[in-house]
């Protein structure tokens, strides 16, 4: 089975609520390559409801974009550097500096959501990623992330 980007995060940096393997309460989001883009799939539990039980809470939507975006920024950078995750070199770590989310329509509960990331540009330590989240009836949210590579 293909490893997810998050599988390569060192344990000491894997406590993120959204994607950290070391957070037992977390969502354990997993991100992968899909051609030139990145993809993650997630089905929120019913407790993450929005105003009505049929819709997902906006914070959950933003959280999925957030974690998939930083993982994607790392993946795009590894690829640009001709490196492989887990290659034994210094890990390339990112945090979110800015995340803009446009909620286009309610996100349906009870279905698998698909999060996609597309590289817009890399400028030094700054990586811009375009994000989308799709339910069973088209794109529910779009995101624009600026991820900053941490100094090693």
Q: Which residues bind ligand PKZ (CB under 6 A)?
A: 5, 8-9, 13, 16, 19, 66-67, 70, 74, 85, 91-93, 95-98, 124-126, 146, 148
Nearer to ligand PKZ, 139 or 148 (CB): 148
- How big is the CA angle at 97 (ends 81 and 92), to the nearest 5 degrees? 25
Q: How far is the CB of 150 from ligand PKZ (least distance, A)?
A: 6
Nearer to ligand PKZ, 62 or 109 (CB): 62
Q: How far is the CB of 124 from ligand PKZ (least distance, A)?
A: 6
Nearer to ligand PKZ, 53 or 86 (CB): 86
Q: Please, are residues 46 and 108 in contact by the beta-carbon 8 Å criterion? A: no
Q: How far is the CB of 21 from ligand PKZ (least distance, A)?
A: 11
Q: How far apart are CA 14 and CA 23, in angstroms?
A: 7
Q: Please, are residues 77 and 149 in contact by the beta-carbon 8 Å criterion? A: yes
Per-residue b or e along 119-146, where b marks 16 or more CB atoms closer than 10 Å to that residue's CB: beebeeeebbbbbbbbbeeeebbbbbbb
Nearer to ligand PKZ, 56 or 99 (CB): 99
């Amino acid at each position: 089975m293909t490893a997810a980007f998050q599988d390569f995060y060192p344990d000491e940096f894997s406590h993120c609520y959204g994607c950290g393997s070391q957070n037992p309460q977390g969502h354990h989001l997993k991100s992968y390559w899909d051609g030139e883009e990145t993809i993650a799939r997630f089905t929120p539990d019913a407790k993450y409801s929005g105003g009505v039980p049929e819709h997902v809470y906006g914070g959950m939507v933003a959280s999925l974009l957030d974690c998939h975006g930083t993982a994607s920024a790392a993946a795009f950078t590894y690829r640009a550097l001709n490196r492989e995750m887990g290659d034994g070199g210094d890990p390339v770590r990112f945090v979110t500096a800015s995340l803009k989310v446009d909620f286009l329509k309610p996100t349906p509960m009870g279905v698998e959501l698909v999060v996609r990331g597309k590289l817009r540009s890399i400028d030094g330590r700054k990586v811009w990623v375009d994000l989308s989240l799709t339910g069973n009836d088209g794109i529910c949210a779009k995101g624009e992330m600026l991820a900053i590579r941490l100094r090693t």
